[in-house]
Every structure is written in C-alpha cells, then in structure tokens.
Amino acid sequence: MPRQFIALIAALLPWTVGLAADSSLPKVEDLFADYAYKQLRMSPDARYLAAMVPIEGRDGLAVVDWSTRKLAGAMRFSGNEIVISYEWIKDLNLLIVNGETNGWRDTPVTYGELFVANADGSDFKAIYGYRTGEQQTGSLVKRGTATYGRAALISDLPSDPHNVLIASYPWNGGLETSWPTVYRLDIRTSVQRRMLRAPIANAEFLSTREGDIRFAIGTDRDDTLRIFEHLPDGGEWRPIGLNSVEGYEFLPLGMTADGKTAYYLSDKGAANLALYALDLKSREDSLLYRHETQSVDDVYRDPHSGEALWAVLGSDRSIVYLKPDHPVSQVRRMLDTAFRNQRIAIVDVSRDYGTVLVSVASDRNPGAWYLVDVATKRAELLVSASDRIDPDQMLPVTEISLKARDGLSLQGFYTKPRGSAAKPPMVLLAHGGPHARDDWEFNPEVQFLASRGYAVLQVNFRGSTGLGRPFEVAGRGEWGRSMQDDLTDATRWAIGEGLADPQRICIMGTSYGGYAALMGVVREPELYRCAISISGVSDIEVLFAEGDILDQISGKAYLRSALGTDSAQWHERSPSRQVATIRAPVLLAHGGQDTRVPIKHAKLMEGALKKAGKPVETLYIDSEGHGFFKLEHRVQLYQRALEFLDRNLAMQR
C-alpha cells in the first residue's frame, strides 16, 4: 500500500497516525475512534492535497504539495477551537470554518465565522465574524469590521482572484427572523459588498460559478419549501415553486456555468422524483431521466461546467449515466469496474480535468482516497480514513427485502455475527431521523455488535428517505404506529427466516431510533427481551414544549404534521406514559447538554419505569449533547450496552 501521503504528514505530525493492534476481535476504541483523516480535498490546480487531521488531539489541517511530494504546512486553532470544515478557494487558499468546545459541553459548536489561509498555513486570519476587526489596527487599507452572524459560501468566483460570494445570516432575532443577505467578500481585506437580500428567512442560494444568483430556497412556518427566482435584469424575487409533504413541484439542484440551464427534481405527473432541465431563457423544460419505481436521489454535475453527468437512484444507489463520454464519467465508469461492490464518490476534479480525487468505501471499509491520473487511467492510493480499522476483520452487510403487514415493500440490511450458530441472538437497530435511512456502508455500531456475536437487523421503515416520495409520505403521522409496525414485521420476518433466536432479541436506537426502541417494548412486550434508547424521545408533549426543533421556522409545523395535535394521542404514543405494558429491561443513555431531545425525556422515562417497578438502567453524561462526542464516552456507552445485552440475552463470554 502506498504510504506517501501518510508519511509526509506523519513526519511532522507523528500523533496523527495510529495503527490497529493485531487482534481477531476489533477493539471498541478502534471502532468508535474519530478517523485519522477526514475531508481530503484537492486544490483546483491539483497541486495541493489537504486533509483534516488531529493535531495535539484537536482537528487541524495538513497540506501536502503533491508536485514536490513535500509537506507544505499545517495549521490549527489555539485553545478549545477546532477545524469543523474547509474547502479550497482560488488555487492557493483555504476557507475554514471553526468550532469550539466549552467547559460544560463536549460537542463543538460553530458561530459561523470564516477564516482564510494560504496553502502553506501563512496569512491565517478571520475574514468574517465577530472577531474580524481584531487584527486590523494600523492599516491604511479599508478593512472589514466585525459581523455578528454566520456565513455560508455560495461561490468561489473562480475568475475573481480576490472575492468570494457568501450568504450572511445575522444573529439578531435568532433563526425565526434571520433573513440572509448575499455579499461579495474580499478575502484580503474582509470588506463586504452587498448584492441582494433573500425573499424568505433562512434561505439558501443557488448561483452560477461566476456569482449570478438565480434561486433562493427556504422553508416557511407551514413546513413548505418555497422556491424563488431572481431574474438577471435586477428585478424582484418571484415565487416559482412549492414543495411539501404532498410532492415536489420544483427542487433546483444547480445551474450550468453559463447560466443558461438549471437542473431540478420534480415528481410532477409521477410518484417518484425525476430529473429535469430548464432553459432559463425560453422557460422550456425537458425530462432528462425518470425511473419507473425509484426516485432520483442525487445528481452529479461537472464541478466546472455545471453540466449534469449522472443520476443516482435512491434505494440501490445505482448510477445512470447522462453523459457517458464525458471525461469524468469515463473515470467513474473505470472505477465502477475496478472497485466492484464498493461505494465510489468523486471528491474533486482539477480545472484541466487531468486529475480526479475519489473516495472508495464499503460495508467493511470506512473509506480510502485515490488520486486518478486521467491520461494514464492510473489510480494511486493516498490514505485510508482510519488505520485502526482492518477491513478483513469486519463482517459483510447483506441487503434484505420483505413485505410489511399491509403489503408495503420494505428494504433493509442483515449482518451475520462472527462465529454464528443457527438462529443467533439479534439486535434490531432502528435508525434516527426518522426521515433518514440506513445504507450499505460501514457502521461502527453494526460492526461492534456483530463482532461480539449479535446478528444486526436494520430496516428502512416507512418515512425513510431515498425510496420515493410516496414511501416517505407514508410515514407522516405514523410515529409509534405503522412505522413501528414495520420494525416489528421485519423482526418477525428475521425469526421466520431462521436469522434470529426468537427468545433473544433486543431493540436499540438513537434519537428517533431511541424512541422506536422504547415503543418496541411498549407495543411488543413478548417480542423483545430488552431495549436500549440513546438520546431517545420518550414524551411527545415535551417534544412540543422543549428542544431546538422549536427554534426552526417550520419546527412546530413539522411536529404537527408528524404527530398531530391531539394530546390524548400524544400520550398513547409516548413511551413514558405507556410503561404498564413493558416487561423487558430498559437502558437509557443521554447527554445532559442535549438540545435536540433534552435529557428530560430520559428522566421522565426513568421515573415512570421505577414508579411502575420496571427494570431500568441509566447512563447520563452531563457534558454530552445529542449523541456522545468524546471517544471515552462512546467507549463507555458501548461497553455498557454490551454488558446489558449479554445479561439480558444470555450471552456467555
């Protein structure tokens, strides 16, 4: 395995690389550790490669000059600040977003500041945010002043050597009244030049590469996604589409660099999302691709021309090539052959199309990056995301399908445990969201449980994304009802197929998955022998009263759509109000700083179970948020979960 990229970084930053110890059983700390390399990116001229790496225990950036194979520089914030994300702008600059941890909270928060640095780490400075004016005394050049808000990059403006296009979201008034404004931001001086204001709060913008803003997208208080268009003649914004739970009229994805064509998704006239192209001058649109049963879930566009090259389908992630002869499509097709049965993503394409940075991952591999020389069609392995994960130690994940009790087709995944006998003990792992999905990918929870002898079942219950709009809509209003039935039906299917011991099954999940775990033992007291709820909802009335969902403009509307307005029904679907039917032991894990699902949910559930004389255990960590951020806390959580499973499913070690 080529080690050039690792060696170059490790020479200066020896603490960034940790190799897994030889063992037939992966260690919990290796499975749940942060990856040594994250967000590997290539500069537009293909000269530099950058990656987020831990520097003295905190995420920073390392940059390699690939033309000389030498380390160009390393950079990090001081104190309790870390790099949250970054991207290349121009050829030689990095635009960096920071985050910081406070003494009472482990999970980093970001305040929307932007920093810029040269590739070698020099001239590292704030260019947007509340600290922007601090480093500019004594200069005769006009400089930017402090901005109290958060910023999002819209365009790099590649033909402008000094400016980028950003959206600025003011802090005043919070999310409910944060009406963004678009600015040109000078990365040398931090000076902002106002361009236009959004037509709706919290809008996101789409522009051409050169900064022609054409679309704004925002969600209103009715949980409706509204689309606005801004004509190039400087006129007013005009509404052109409404997207709601009933369907998508117009969901813009982006435009070609010349500003002539916009691509969008719509399910008009069909059940599934299809890809369209809109001629922005003639206003004529054309259907580019529609599948009979699957929605178009993603579209890859040429990062320089904006042209749509291929579509990704939702359920099986298959690729449909729209421009098979395009140089990037040819690279992708070559990689499809070279890396069969793996997930491939084009990360960056050089401006001259001569070099392509790709990532490759699978169910047993959290990911690796390759640099592809387009002329020679040679792919060079740069680095794996984690040297602590040995793919040969991991277990394969198999896709499964079944029918729910009402005939709806369900899709999911089954992982056979290590050293498994027939009908092994099983954990049903319910995903969070709930409007998300399980996928065929590396999942440390799955690998941990399977390596310890537990079969793992995952199912995309109705309401999950990527399986078509009708499937997602079918989950609205069905918390604790048919969404829960889907999980039950999948469990009974696994039993019927001989994939699980019917007397040794536990249900487990995080966030909505934690809610599903609790509702599982409420509604199916004979089916599950235990439940593990991590950061889970337990009381719907509390969900309507506390938590940051309410801070979002559409938060209350979403909750009303998902859960109704009848408090009596809320109680019927709240695990903390239905503990009488529970027979299985419950483990509750929660963070004291959880703002999405406040710890009050766990405390209410614990109190109700104890009052009813039901077995309950808890793991509360005051400094954690929604899910556990620190490795030591993750290790503690999963070791505790394993002990709980072993006791309740009679696993001997």
Q: What is the pLDDT of residue 175?
A: 47
Q: Which long-range contacts (CB under 8 A, 24 or more apart) does 95-98 make?
A: 95/153, 95/164, 95/187, 96/61
Q: What is the pLDDT of residue 355?
A: 97
Place of tokens 């027979």: 583
pLDDT band (50, 70, 90) for residue 138: very low
Phi/psi of residue 3, each to 5°?
-125, 20
Q: What is the pTM of this model?
A: 0.89
Residues 53-94: pLDDT tens digits? 988 878 899 999 999 999 999 998 888 888 999 999 998 999
Q: What is the average pLDDT value for the chain, to the nearest integer?
A: 89
Q: Flag whether pLDDT at 370 surpasses 70.
A: yes
Give the CA distances from residue 353 to residues 258, 302, 331, 480, in Å, rounded to whole numbers and listed in that order. 18, 10, 10, 50
What is the spatial distance between Cα 175 and Cα 169, in angstroms, rounded to a whole number? 9
> What is the residue type of 204?
E
Please give the helix or strand (H or E) that residue 456 lies within, else none.
strand 455-460
Query: Residue 532, SS3?
Result: strand
Q: What is the pLDDT of residue 174?
A: 53
What is the spatial distance between Cα 459 and Cα 413, in angstroms, rounded to a whole number? 6
Q: Do 147 and 195 touch, CB atoms closer than 8 A?
A: no
Q: Flag whether pLDDT at 300 surpasses 70.
A: yes
Residues 208-244: pLDDT tens digits? 888 899 999 998 888 888 999 998 776 789 998 888 7
Cβ burial, residue 375 (10 Å; 0-12/13-18/19+): exposed
Residues 482-538: pLDDT tens digits? 999 999 999 999 999 999 999 999 999 999 999 999 999 999 999 999 999 999 999
Per cent of the chain over pLDDT 70 is 92
CA 428 to chain centre: 22
Alpha helices in 366-506 (DSSP H): 444-451, 469-473, 482-496
Q: Do 74 and 60 touch, CB atoms closer than 8 A?
A: yes
Residues 380-425: pLDDT tens digits? 999 999 989 999 999 999 999 999 999 999 999 999 998 867 899 9
Per cent of the chain over pLDDT 90 is 69
Phi/psi of residue 260, each to 5°?
-90, -30
Strand order of the sheet with strand 225-230?
204-207, 213-219, 225-230, 237-244, 247-248
Q: Flag whether pLDDT at 649 surpasses 50.
A: yes
pLDDT band (50, 70, 90) for residue 105: low
Place of tokens 């556990």: 628
What is the spatial distance between Cα 342 and Cα 337, in angstroms, rounded to a whole number? 10
Q: What is the pLDDT of residue 134?
A: 58
pLDDT band (50, 70, 90) for residue 3: very low
Q: Flag whether pLDDT at 137 surpasses 50.
A: no
Q: What is the pLDDT of residue 315?
A: 63
* Nearest CA among 233, 218, 226, 166 for reference residue 194: 166
Alpha helices in 64-178 (DSSP H): none
Query: Residue 271, SS3?
Result: coil
Q: Which long-range contacts (CB under 8 A, 24 or more apart) does 241-248 make?
A: 245/473, 245/476, 245/561, 246/473, 247/469, 248/273, 248/469
pLDDT band (50, 70, 90) for residue 98: very high
Cα dihedral 17, 22, 25, 27 sign: negative
Residues 547-575: pLDDT tens digits? 888 877 778 888 888 888 888 899 999 99
Q: What is the pLDDT of residue 10?
A: 53
Query: Residue 625, SS3?
Result: strand
pLDDT band (50, 70, 90) for residue 314: confident
pLDDT band (50, 70, 90) for residue 359: very high
Q: What is the pLDDT of residue 419?
A: 80
